[in-house]
Amino acid sequence: MTPETKLPKVGTTIFTVMSQLAMEHGAVNLGQGFPDFDVPQRLVQALDRAMREGKNQYAPMTGIPALRQAIAAKTERCYGHRPDADTEVTVTSGASEAIFAAVLAVVRPGDEVIVLDPCYDCYEPAIDLAGGRAVHVPLDPATFAPDWAAIRAAVSPRTRMLMINSPHNPSGAMFTRQDIEQLTELLEGTHMWLLSDEVYEHIVFDGARHESVLRYPQLRQRAFVVSSFGKTYHCTGWKVGYCIAPPALSTEFRKVHQYNTFCTFAPAQWAFAEMIEAEPAHYDELGAFYQAKRDHFREQLLTTRLRPLPVPGGYFQLVDYSDVSDLDDVAFCRWLTVEKGVAAIPLSPFYESAPAGQRLARLCFAKNAQTLDAAIERLQKL
């Protein structure tokens, strides 16, 4: 017997497909978004110590108190708001788990959830599994800024949630203070919840400020705010993140979390608690660390036939390949991987309906210099 699928639009993710293709053909993998440099030494040592000290059994469902308190203090330091560590902070098995738990906590069958295209590919499956319907509103195709008139037009009596992402994956675009004002006005007087995906919160460039929803009382009182230790501390494979939400939302969130993963990798929680308190300079300096990579990579790309787009935040570089090929983006990225030895991610899988004629691919620059240099050497031959 074959079960009737609950996710008819879902296959293997484009990230898995391109990484597998890169492995098969010996390509430089600038596709999947993971750093290939070392995790901070203090974090590795703290993890080792936690395991050797026997901190290997179930953590509390919401996260160990030391980590939740460290997150609360860090949030106050960064955004001027200290969430209650006991009732508003929940440690999760990565940001993806937090996104699923938030959606499943409040979205009911028949509800609508507005997502802004291009958007990360785990959003819609979570909505589908909750019995909801994703309503796709395109971002500006040139700047990836929100079109607030279009978002307002998409709101209906069935709208339960709006999902936002800043800094944005895949474009790196960021919400401005004006966007926050428009968002606040949009939500005022409604029964809509907000899910703010802020996993790249510390990777912002050119002196910009990350406009976290947590800065704004009117927004945070109705929001799930999702963060990722993997993105901040170069350890995506540890799969640890967290969600900050007001007590009533956290209560519902935890009902889902406790029957999904129950708790998250315990030794890592002890390690992150120590790292946050001992080395705040790590996240303070993360933007400058990645800005140097962004700037160097952009200079290198200018020696190729690929045209780099602006990158305000995050660790992805969009490139326009119109001068290289007329292939659609999926075919181009496959050709680039197989024939030219550099793996990239096409943009169309991030859309319900990609703009006609768009010729963009995503490259990850969260790589060491040797990896980026090897990729550029191949891209210069296009």
Alpha-carbon torsion 153, 199, 264, 9, what sign?
Answer: positive
CATH architecture, domain 14-39+284-379: Alpha-Beta Complex (3.90)
**Max Cα separation, the chain?**
58
What is the residue whose two structure tokens read 């899988």? 349
What is the chain's pLDDT, residue by residue, as a tens digit (382 residues)? Answer: 888 888 888 877 888 888 898 889 899 999 988 899 999 999 999 999 999 999 999 999 999 999 999 999 999 999 999 999 999 999 999 999 999 999 999 999 999 999 999 999 999 999 999 999 999 999 999 999 999 999 999 999 999 999 999 999 999 999 999 999 999 999 999 999 999 999 999 999 999 999 999 999 999 999 999 999 999 999 999 999 999 999 999 999 999 999 999 999 999 999 999 999 999 999 999 999 999 999 999 999 999 999 999 999 999 999 999 999 999 999 999 999 999 999 999 999 999 999 999 999 999 999 999 999 999 999 999 9
Residue with tokens 């938030």: 102
CATH 3.40.190.10 fits 41-279, yes or no: no
> Looking at residue 79, what is its pLDDT?
98
Under DSSP, is residue 319 helix (H, G, I), strand (E, B) or coil?
strand
Q: Would you list the domain boundaries of the chain? A: 14-39+284-379, 41-279
Report the distance separating Cα 231 and Cα 259, nearest Å. Answer: 25
3-state DSSP call for residue 110?
coil
Q: From residue 204, give the alpha-carbon distance in Å to each of 17, 18, 98, 331, 332.
A: 29, 27, 22, 31, 29
DSSP E strands: which ranges in the chain?
28-29, 89-92, 112-117, 133-138, 159-165, 193-197, 223-228, 241-244, 307-308, 316-320, 342-343, 345-346, 360-364
**Cis before residue 109, ω within 30 degrees of 0?**
no
Task: Write phi, then psi, for 230 (nearest 5 degrees).
Answer: -60, -40
Q: Which residues pair with 362 in a beta bridge?
A: 318, 345
Q: Go through 67-88 and write b for each residue having 16 or more CB atoms within 10 A of its CB, e for each that does not.
A: bbbbbbbbbeebbebebebebb
| pTM for the full predicted model | 0.96
Give me the pLDDT at residue 21, please: 84
pLDDT at 15: 82
Structure tokens at 145: 């800024």
pLDDT of residue 9: 83
Identify whether 40 is preceded by a cis peptide bond (ω within 30 of 0): no
Q: From CA 188, how far away is CA 185, in angstroms rounded?
A: 5
pLDDT at 328: 96
**C-alpha to C-alpha distance for 62 and 85, rounded to whole angstroms:** 10
